[in-house]
Amino acid sequence: MADKNNSDVDIGREPSKFWYGFIGSQLIVPLICWYTKIKVKPDQDYLKEEGPIVVLGNHPSYLDPVVVERLTHGRPTNFVAGEFVFRKKGWGYWFKLGGAIPKKQFVVDTVAVKAMMRVLKRKGSLCIFPEATRFIDGTSKSFDDGVARMIKKTNSAIYIARSNGAYLTWPRWSESGMRMGKITASFVRKLPGEKVKDMSIEEIQEYIMDGLAYNEYDYSRASNPTHRNSKMASGIQNVGFICPKCKKQFTMDFVGGSTVKCSDCGNEINVLGNGLFEAGNDESKTFEDLHEWVKWEKDIIAEELKNPDFKMELDCRLVKEIGISSFAHTGNGKITVTADEILYEGSDCEVEYGIPCHHGKDKRVSKSKMDLFEKNSKNISRTYGIQSMKGLAAKYGQYIEIYNKDGELYRFYTEGKKVFKIQQVVMLFKKMDFEG
C-alpha cells in the first residue's frame, strides 16, 4: 500500500482520472455540495477555452476549491493550496494525486512555482487563490503581481471566479464550524490568452485586482441570506477584540448563541442570520459588520504604533513539525514584537526530543521521554525580521506561524485573543515602512 505521507508524489502532475476525475469530482465534491448547499454549474465558456488557463478566485472559506471545482467541472484543474492543508495524514497524498500543488504561506516557494509553470507549459488549467489566505473580515485583500507575471510569461487565459455566501457559511474566525446557508458562484471575468499577449504586467494586475474586489457584507445587505448555527458568534471575539463602546482591548467574550459581550462594560453584540451585527440592548454599541469593526481596530493599532517604544510581550509554547503531518512541543519562552522584528527567547530542542502534541496539547509521555525533553532543551534567542515577511500565518485564538530561512516551520501558541493583533501589528509595520 502506498505511503499516505509520501512527499515524493509528482507535484504538478496531470490530475489523476481516478482520484480527481472519479473519487473527487464525482463522489466527494457532489456530497459536500449537497451538504453545504453549494448551487454552482459548470461554465461552458471555460470548458471550450484553449489552454493554458489560470483560474483565479477570492478566498472567503475552506469551501472555495469545492466551489471552483463545480465551475470548472468537466475539465481537470490543478489547484494550488496552502501547505498546511497537506499536513493531514493521508489527505496530502490524495490531494497530490489529484494534481493539487502545496504552497508555503508568505514565503517564496520555488518548488510550488516550478510546479505551476509545469502545468501551464503543458497548456493545462491552474486554479490559484492569490490572496494566499482566507478572508478575515469578509472582504478581499491586496497581493503582489507574482501571478500577473506568471500569466504574462505563459500568455494564459484568465478566468476570475466569485462566490456569494461562502464566507458567511464558514468564516475563518468560526469556532463552531459552518453556518448553513446557500452558496452560489460564477466567472465574473473571462479573458482569452490572445488578449493577454497585448497587455502589460501592470494592466494584467489591475484587471485581476478589479475582478477580485469583493465585500461579502455588501452581498448580505443586498440579498439578506439566512445562515444558521447554534453558536453564531463563537470566535468573533478573537478578531473583534476591542469593545466598540468602552474601547478596552481583549475584553470581548463569547457568552453563548449569537452574542459576544464585553467583560468590562457589559456591551453586548448579536450576530444575525445574515451575518450582520446588532446591538444587544439600548445601551450597547456595535458596528454593522466585522469589516467596519476591523477597520476601526486597525486605526487604533496604527495610533499605538506611532510610539517608538511600542512592543508586545507574550508568553508562548514553541511547536515544530515532525515530518509532514505531526508536531512536537519543543520549547517554552516569550515572544516580543517590535517595529523591526519578532523575537523568541526561551528554550528549544531537536524535534526528536520534543513532546508529541495534537492541536497544541501535549500527549502523555513516559518519564524517560520527559527527562530527554528537559535534558536536551537549550536556551536560545531567535529573531524574525518583519520587513522580510510577506505576511504572518495565524490561527486566531491560538497561534502564529513563521518559516525560517531554511523553510522550517515554527508555531508559537500564545494568548489567544492577542494573536489577531500580533498579525495586524506586523502588517501595519510593513505598510508604514513601505510608505516611508
pLDDT in tens, 9-20: 688 888 888 888
CA 302 to chain CA centroid, nearest Å: 23
Q: Tell whether the model's pLDDT for residue 106 goes beyond 90.
A: no
Q: Which residue has the higher pLDDT, 397 or 359?
A: 397
What element of type H or E holds 91? helix 91-97
Q: Could you give the domains of the chain?
A: 17-223 (3.40.1130.10), 236-304 (no CATH), 312-435 (2.30.29)
Least confident of 198-202, 203-207, 327-331, 385-389: 385-389
Average pLDDT over the chain, rounded to an integer: 92
Sign of CA dihedral 329, 406, 56, 143: positive
- Strand ranges, E, within 29-180: 38-39, 53-57, 78-82, 101-103, 125-128, 157-164
Segment of 77-81, 83-87, 203-207, 325-329 carrying the highest mean pLDDT? 203-207
- pLDDT for 219 equals 98
- Strand ranges, E, within 220-267: 252-256, 259-262
Pairing verdict, β 361-362 and 355-358: antiparallel
DSSP conformation class of 228: B
Reduced to 3 DSSP states, what percent helix, strand and coil does the chain have, rounded to the nearest 5?
A: 35, 25, 40
- pLDDT for 90 equals 62
- Percentage of the chain beyond pLDDT 90 is 78
Tens of pLDDT, residues 225-250: 999 999 999 999 999 999 999 999 99
Distance CA 429, CA 422 (A): 11
Q: Tell whether the model's pLDDT for residue 1 goes beyond 50.
A: no
| Residues linked to residue 411 through DSSP beta bridges, in sequence order | 319, 401
Distance CA 185, CA 190 (A): 14
Q: Tell whether the model's pLDDT for residue 390 goes beyond 80.
A: no
Distance CA 227, CA 219 (A): 13
Residue with cell 481516478: 18
- pLDDT for 9 equals 67
Least confident of 100-104, 131-135, 223-227, 422-426: 100-104
- pLDDT for 432 equals 60
| Band of residue 286 on the pLDDT scale cut at 50, 70, 90 | very high
CA 289 to chain CA centroid, nearest Å: 20
Q: Tell whether the model's pLDDT for residue 291 goes beyond 50.
A: yes
- pLDDT for 407 equals 75
- Tell me: cis bond preceding 30? Omega within 30 of 0 counts: no
- pLDDT for 5 equals 47
Q: Which long-range contacts (CB under 8 A, 24 or more apart) does 388-392 make?
A: 389/106, 389/426, 389/430, 390/106, 390/107, 390/144, 391/105, 391/106, 391/132, 391/133, 391/426, 391/427, 392/106, 392/422, 392/423, 392/426, 392/427
Q: Cβ(154)–Cβ(143) under 8 Å?
A: no
Distance CA 380, CA 142 (A): 36
Q: Tell whether the model's pLDDT for residue 215 goes beyond 90.
A: yes
Rg of the chain over Cα atoms, rounded to whole angstroms, equals 22
Distance CA 61, CA 183 (A): 11
- pLDDT for 216 equals 98
